[in-house]
């Protein structure tokens, strides 16, 4: 099984990127969770939509081939990050106006997120869920892990060491998504 992971922070060592790698380990050997680098995707602009910029075309092709998409959602000002919104805008658009094919339609998706704030990422996840549902993405309804005060779970080297309860929620969400994808075929 192949799943594209989209991290809402472009920072190389973001907590959400570290969370993706924890999830990758929890999903097992039969699942490939790809940490997709979309830092080269330009700001969405219909003036450059066609021909499709190469980084967008590659991401769309990867999503089309993948079995699912897993979003790792930080919360910025009670919403999703600008880079994540931008990439969602690009991948929601038709591949061409001749076919009107959209790679996200019907694709299984899930999300979780970590933030330094006390309220976790539930508001950002609801924000993203609203966009994805509108786009007819097959979003797993639950469970969803949301991690607050994530910086308190990092050691002095920046490694993320989730407490057993938090790790349990993350593992439950990761394994539920694997089953959700299997049952969506």
- Domain 2-183, CATH among 3.40.50.360, 3.40.50.1100, 3.40.50.2300, 3.40.50.300: 3.40.50.360
Give me the pLDDT at residue 86, please.
Answer: 98
Region for 179 from its dihedrals, namely left if φ exceeds 0, alpha if ψ lies in -120 to 50, beta otherwise: alpha
Q: How confident is the model at residue 185 (pLDDT cuts 50, 70, 90)?
A: confident
- 42: buried, middle or exposed (CB in 10 Å: 19+, 13-18, 0-12)? exposed
> Considering the chain, what is the average pLDDT of its residues?
96
Give me the pLDDT at residue 119, please.
Answer: 86
Strand ranges in 44-184 using DSSP code E only, listed in sequence order:
68-72, 108-114, 138-139, 146-147
Q: Tell me the C-alpha distance between 9 and 133, whole Å.
A: 22
Q: How far is CA 68 from the centre of its chain?
A: 10
What is the domain partition of the chain in residue ranges?
A: 2-183
pTM over cut 0.95: yes
What b-and-e string marks burial along 93-107, b requiring 16 or more CB atoms within 10 Å of the CB? Answer: bbbeeeeeebbbeeb
Q: What is the pLDDT of residues 103-142, one digit of tens each?
A: 999 999 999 999 998 889 999 999 999 999 999 999 999 9
Mean pLDDT of 66-83: 96
């Amino acid at each position: 099984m192949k799943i594209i992971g989209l991290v809402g922070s472009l920072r190389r060592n973001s907590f959400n990127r570290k969370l993706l790698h924890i999830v990758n380990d929890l999903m097992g050997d039969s699942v490939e969770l790809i940490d997709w680098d979309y830092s080269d995707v330009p700001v969405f602009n219909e003036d450059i939509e066609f021909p499709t910029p190469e980084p967008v075309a590659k991401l769309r092709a990867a999503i089309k081939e993948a079995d699912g998409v897993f979003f790792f959602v930080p919360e910025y000002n009670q919403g999703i990050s600008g880079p994540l919104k931008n990439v969602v805008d690009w991948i929601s658009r038709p591949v061409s106006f001749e076919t009107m094919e959209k790679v996200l339609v019907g694709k299984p998706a899930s999300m979780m997120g970590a933030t330094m704030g006390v309220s976790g990422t539930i508001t950002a996840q609801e924000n993203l869920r609203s966009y994805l549902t509108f786009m007819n993405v097959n979003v797993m309804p639950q469970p969803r892990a949301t991690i607050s005060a994530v910086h308190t779970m990092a050691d002095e080297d920046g490694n993320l060491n989730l407490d057993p309860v938090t790790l349990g929620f993350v593992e439950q969400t990761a394994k539920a998504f694997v089953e959700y994808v299997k049952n969506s075929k």
